[in-house]
């Protein structure tokens, strides 16, 4: 009986810890405002421990991202070509309790900065609300 109780407590504690950790794996909608220009892109993030990989697609090209997660601090970057010039976009942000990511983006090597917001797309399983249970009416 003691083993069962100890196992149950350990299982509950580990699942509670996992539930409190933010999950980034899935589809995300990113809205950027950089130097007064607004743009949207869809990103697919894959979180493995504290590492972040995946891809983002804007209007013209799909790029591979690399990044990391440290608690609720999220960073990622990708390289792209813009009118023949190589650019690196570096995103630094924080995830809030609702699962929304907000922060800053820097366009290197030009040093241009802006803000962005990332929200989970409807297909993101890690942040989707659990299904509601049916209620009985009598």
Domain boundaries, the chain: 23-120
Distance CA 42, CA 32 (A): 11
Distance CA 44, CA 46 (A): 7
- pLDDT above 90 covers a percentage of the chain that reads 62
Burial class (CB in 10 A: 0-12, 13-18, 19+), 40: exposed
pTM: 0.72
Query: How much is the CA Rg of the chain, to the nearest whole Å?
Result: 19
Given a cut of 50, whether residue 17 has pLDDT beyond it is: no
* Tokens of residue 42, six digits: 């869809």
The least confident of 16-20, 22-26, 107-111 is 16-20
**Nearest partner of 56 among 116, 10, 14, 127, judged by Cα:** 116
CATH topology for 23-120 is Lipocalin (2.40.128)
pLDDT of residue 61: 85
**Checking phi first, is residue 54 left (phi over 0); if not, alpha (psi -120 to 50) or beta?**
left
pLDDT of residue 22: 55
Condensed to tens digits (0 to 9), the pLDDT of residues 24-74 reads 999 999 999 999 999 999 999 999 999 999 999 987 789 999 999 999 999
**Nearest partner of 121 among 47, 52, 25, 39, judged by Cα:** 25
**Nearest partner of 72 among 49, 95, 90, judged by Cα:** 95
């Amino acid at each position: 009986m003691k083993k069962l109780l100890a196992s149950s407590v350990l299982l509950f504690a580990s699942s509670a810890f996992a539930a409190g950790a933010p999950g980034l794996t899935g589809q995300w909608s990113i809205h950027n405002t950089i130097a007064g220009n607004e743009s949207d892109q869809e990103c697919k993030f894959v979180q493995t421990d504290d590492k972040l990989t995946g891809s983002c697609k804007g209007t013209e090209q799909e790029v591979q991202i690399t990044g990391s997660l440290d608690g609720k601090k999220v960073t990622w970057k990708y390289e792209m070509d813009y009118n023949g010039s190589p650019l690196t976009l570096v995103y630094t942000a924080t995830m809030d309790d609702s699962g929304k990511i907000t922060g800053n983006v820097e366009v290197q090597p030009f040093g241009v900065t802006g803000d962005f917001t990332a929200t989970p797309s409807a297909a993101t399983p890690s942040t989707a609300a659990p299904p509601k249970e049916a209620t009985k009416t009598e």
